[in-house]
Amino acid sequence: MDKKVLIIGGGPAGIETAYSLALQDVKVVMIEKDANVCGNIQNWEKLFPDFKDAEEVRKILSQKLNHPNIEVITNTEIKNLYPQGNLWFAKNDDERIFEANAALLATGFEVFDAKRKEELGYGIYDNVITSADFEKMYKSRKILTAEGRVPQRIAFLNCVGSRDEKVGNHYCSRVCCINAVKQAIEFKELVPDAKAYCFYMDMRMAGQFYEELYRKSQEKYGVTYIRGRTSEAAVTRDNRIQIKAEDTLSALPMKMTVDLLVLMVGIEASAGTTLLSEQNDVLGLYGFAKPLGLYSEDNMTTKPGLFLAGTCKRPLTLPETLADARSAATDIIKYLKTTK
Amino acid sequence: MNFHPFILPFSLGAIVLFAIIIYKYVSWIKKLDRKQKYFVNKNMFTFKTIQATGEVIREALIHRNIYKKNPVLGYMHMSLAFGWFLLIVVGKTESSFYAGTFFEEPWLAIFFRYFAREPHEYFMATQFTFIMDFLLLVVLSGVLLAIIKRMRSKFMGMKKATKHSTFDRIALSALWWIFPLRLLAESTTAAITGNGGFLTGSLGNLMSGLPVQALELPLWWAYSTVLFAFFVALPFSRYMHIPTEVILIFLRKWGATAGEQYSGLSDIQINACSRCGICIDACQLNFAADINNVQSVYFIRDTRYHNLTDDIANNCLLCGRCTEACPVGIETTLIRQQMRNKAEIPGKHYYDYADVPDCNSKPEVVYFAGCMSHLTPSIIISMKKIFDAAGVKYWFMDEEKGLCCGRPMRQQGFVQQSKDLISKNMRMIHSSGAKVLVTSCPICYKSFRDEYVLEIPVLHHTEYIEKLIDSGKLELKNSGKSIVYHDPCELGRGCNVYDAPRAVLKEIGELRTSELEKENSLCCGGSLSNSVIDLATQTKIRDHGLEVLTASKPDILATACPLCKKSLVHGNKVIVKDIAEIVAVNIVNKKQPKKVQTAKNMNEFEVSYK
């Protein structure tokens, strides 16, 4: 087919769509704002629920980009996306213009900036980290406090920036619960004698094997789950973190001192997602892009030739993102075949 | 004797009116609380009474305050109030000259033209006729404006006019008819007897073709009847504000203010409300969130008629903007707080379980951060850094086992609980032997100032920082940033602290102004006082406020309240910092300060500045 598709975003969604299109003889130009492709999974060490090395997945995805029909352009951030006639155009800050028959938004998510919840002390106290920081530490298999000690007590705090009216995010980010289970197990494997606590509102274990892992974390690893949201964190004289919370099952306020507090930061629409959606009148709630419909039109938009894939629409897990990307490719090919 | 049966409705109405007013005055004064009675006794026979008389003339007759806010509205009130007052005074003088005695029939002045039919020969008769006609014209112009205002309130620069009750409608319709009917009655008489002036006489001439003989008595009857209707409806309508405002002005001048509990003064204040509706325009719930049935005017009306609902009593930010705007000076927020008071259980103590520490370290300063500052730890850390840099020995009173200051309880009407907290906190403060109490939270600050009886002065941290700068203990460098300052309600309107925060900010950056500042500043939307509105409504108020505050696109939006900071931060529009935070990163180090456990935070903060 002598058609070209522009894919904005070189994360899992962008790569998977690009490869599916390339296999169907469609030319693809994939534009990534960073130096490297693979997006947010670059920051992850192991994946839930099977503890697969993220590196393996990254390798598989990167190899797909070697297909001759795919051209990858990195270090290029698209600031302007617009249709003209039957064509789509994308521009970066240097006025470099890309042209194609269709465009796909695969601009993904960003993790919630935990500094916006000042009461939790991220960026203020040394021993408050985010789940993303935990992943980075875990690369070297060293989870340590700021003083370099091995923590004897660690707490994971769910729903930071998700299901939180105050910060304007009413939605559930879907991946943090299972990620907390995964990270708690990883920690307990490294430091079997330590205590691990996890504060939650609901443990949402809706994916395959999630529930099993949640049980295992309690039965085999002894992770303690406490239902209740933490209201504030303070620092103690020895630089540990004291958290105030309410145990809503026993209806009692509680204080707990831990060596390390991990904030399970939620998913927010990336700046690029919001910017390009807004330009094309496809901006939905909370800055995410809005698909044409929830069912068969989930990859389409109100704009002919503009498609969506992955977490630019809503929080999704990695397998869901990849499936969604392949489904986007199907819709794009259908569109290319019926349009001049 | 000058008598005709048509004077009877008027006379009856006047007797009823005076009886009710005297009854109300007496019962209100009896209900004043001890403090208010003390001030009345203390100041009744002083110069203050003369000052109050002057204010009555300025405000109740000339309506200077309304005039300053809105000239057309001011003229309307002045022409009606002062015009009518002069009509009575000049009319009475005229009728006394006419009768040759001061003790003529009391109704003579009211129906003077009907009775004084023969050519006028008393002292200055022509001049009196002219003046009375002129005054009637002035009052009529006021009536005309009032009618236009009812039809189109925007004409008066008011976006919302108050909705009326039945008594209001009766009194209002009667008021509209009094003066046109007086004009017609006098003109008819003038057509028959030729005793009119430039207005009534001319209109009389125009009426010469009509059957004036047959019209005259019915018109005088109608005039007397609408006066009756107005007088009888007045004590039950919003026009009760006319006689009540006078007594309010005297009480206020003597020093009486609204206390903790509802009292006679509260009664007087709610009766002094003219329901002008200026508070509706001042209210953010109205103009930012489109809620327009809870404002002070409606709250006061419902309180007066004993049908106040919790939904209205609790749907208020207690920001104080309406109190500031009220031309009568009604203490709207305090009265609302009184109406929220819950029943007390005698002898009950609520916080016996709370074990609070005494201070043993002999500090210079007691620092009370407040619950809200514990949710914005960066403010606390900045204050620690400031104390250390200035070399001040302080005791952080609520660092670990602190209690609430009691004000949020108080605002929700839990007075007893609040008092329990206050007594525990007072014990802690006094145990320290410190010379000054410093707090980071304006809500606590207001509570310490108004509800506590402290042996030491209390300062908000902005005032304290200003003192440290003035005394040379703290040296700051200019950051070169442009800053807009948001006045927190409790610090600004609540405690009258406007200058200290600005003085401090001028040391560190370029202070810009915003459209609504100081007394007119907006609430951030995060007020703890409103237990009715949801987050979406708070967000509307916040976003509107942010728009006003960031119009000049400052680098930093500064505030001095942890609660304001939290709500404004979530607007995600601009860097929001407490003054303490901005000060802490701009300290010029004279000596190496003690290392506070914050290094990481401060570096990050510097980064976000660049």
> Per-residue DSSP letters for B269-331?
HHHT-----HHHHH-HHHHTT---SSSHHHHHHHHHTT---HHHHH------HHHHH-TT---
What mean pLDDT comes out for the span B143-169?
Answer: 76
CATH number at residue A43: 3.50.50.60
What is the share, in percent, of chain B residues with pLDDT greater than 70?
Answer: 95
DSSP SS3 for B499: helix
Burial of A61 (0-12, 13-18, 19+ CB in 10 A): buried
CA neighbor of B609 nearest in space, from B481, B477, B437, B439: B481
Q: How far apart are CA B187 and CA B199, in angstroms?
A: 8
> Looking at the predicted structure, is the pLDDT value of residue B416 above 90?
yes
pLDDT score of A318: 96
| pLDDT band at residue B600 using 50, 70 and 90 as cut-offs | very low
Cβ–Cβ < 8 Å for B248, B268: yes
Chain B CB contacts of A167 under 8 Å are 570
Same-domain pairing of A66 and A13 = yes
Write the pLDDT tens digit of every residue in B533-544.
998 899 999 999
Nearest CA distance, A166 vs chain B (angstrom): 7
Chain A CB contacts of B378 under 8 Å are 118, 124
Whether B311 is covered by a domain: the verdict is yes
pLDDT score of B321: 96
Write the pLDDT tens digit of every residue in A309-339.
999 999 999 999 999 999 999 999 999 999 8
Write the pLDDT tens digit of every residue in A124-154.
999 999 999 999 999 999 999 999 999 999 9
CA distances in angstroms from B473 to A332, B389, B466, listed in the order given:
69, 8, 10
Write the pLDDT tens digit of every residue in A235-254.
998 999 999 999 999 998 89
Averaged pLDDT score across all residues of chain B: 90
B377 touches chain A (CB under 8 A): yes
What does the radius of gyration of chain A's CA atoms come to, in whole angstroms?
A: 22
DSSP SS3 for B404: coil
Same-domain pairing of A242 and A281 = no
Structural domain for B317, as ranges:
242-340
Same-domain pairing of B74 and B105 = yes
Contact B535 A165 (CB under 8 A): yes
What mean pLDDT comes out for the span B73-80?
Answer: 90
Biggest distance spanned by C-alpha atoms of chain A: 70
B99 token code pair: 């009768």
Whether B21 is covered by a domain: the verdict is no
Contact B377 A167 (CB under 8 A): no
Write the pLDDT tens digit of every residue in B267-291.
999 999 988 888 999 999 999 999 9
CATH number at residue B506: 3.40.50
| pLDDT band at residue B158 using 50, 70 and 90 as cut-offs | low
Domain tally, chain A: 2
Averaged pLDDT score across all residues of chain A: 95
Contact A118 B378 (CB under 8 A): yes
pLDDT score of B161: 62
Whole-complex ipTM: 0.81
Between chain A and chain B, the number of residue pairs with CB atoms below 8 A apart is: 47
Residue to substitute from A113, A115, A118, A128, interface B, most B β-carbons within 10 A:
A118
Contact B566 A118 (CB under 8 A): yes
Same-domain pairing of B233 and B248 = no
Lowest mean pLDDT among A23-37, B61-75, B483-497, B552-566: B61-75
Q: Report which secondary-structure segment, H or E, holds B134.
A: helix B125-151
Same-domain pairing of B307 and B248 = yes
- Chain mean position to CA A275: 18
Write the pLDDT tens digit of every residue in A62-119.
999 999 999 999 999 999 999 999 999 999 988 889 999 999 999 999 999 999 999 9
CATH number at residue B327: 1.10.1060
Nearest CB to A234 within list B377, B535, B566: B377
Structural domain for A59, as ranges:
4-108+270-338
Lowest mean pLDDT among B37-51, B109-123, B306-320, B595-609: B595-609
Domain boundary among A216, A244, A267: A267
Whether B263 is covered by a domain: the verdict is yes
B354 touches chain A (CB under 8 A): no
Domain boundary among A233, A267, A301: A267
Domain tally, chain B: 4
Q: How far apart are CA B52 and CA A333, in angstroms?
A: 86
CA neighbor of B319 nearest in space, from B286, B290, B347: B286
Write the pLDDT tens digit of every residue in B213-242.
999 999 999 999 999 999 999 999 989 999
pLDDT score of B196: 86
Same-domain pairing of B270 and B146 = no
Q: Which residues of A touch B (CB under 8 A)?
A: 115-116, 118-119, 121, 123-126, 146, 165-168, 231-235, 239
Same-domain pairing of B233 and B371 = no
| pLDDT band at residue A267 using 50, 70 and 90 as cut-offs | very high
pLDDT score of A94: 87
Nearest CB to B375 within list A126, A232, A239: A232
Beta bridge partners of A164: A169
Domain boundary among A267, A290, A307: A267
Same-domain pairing of A118 and A96 = no
CATH number at residue B457: 3.40.50.1860
Chain B stretch 501-540, residues whose beta carbon is closer than 8 A to a beta carbon of chain A? 535, 539
pLDDT score of B306: 93
**Per-residue DSSP letters for B344-375?**
P-TT--S-TT---PPP-S--SEEEE--HHHHT
Q: Which pTM does this prediction carry?
A: 0.84
CA neighbor of B383 nearest in space, from B431, B450, B422, B370: B370
Contact A118 B376 (CB under 8 A): yes
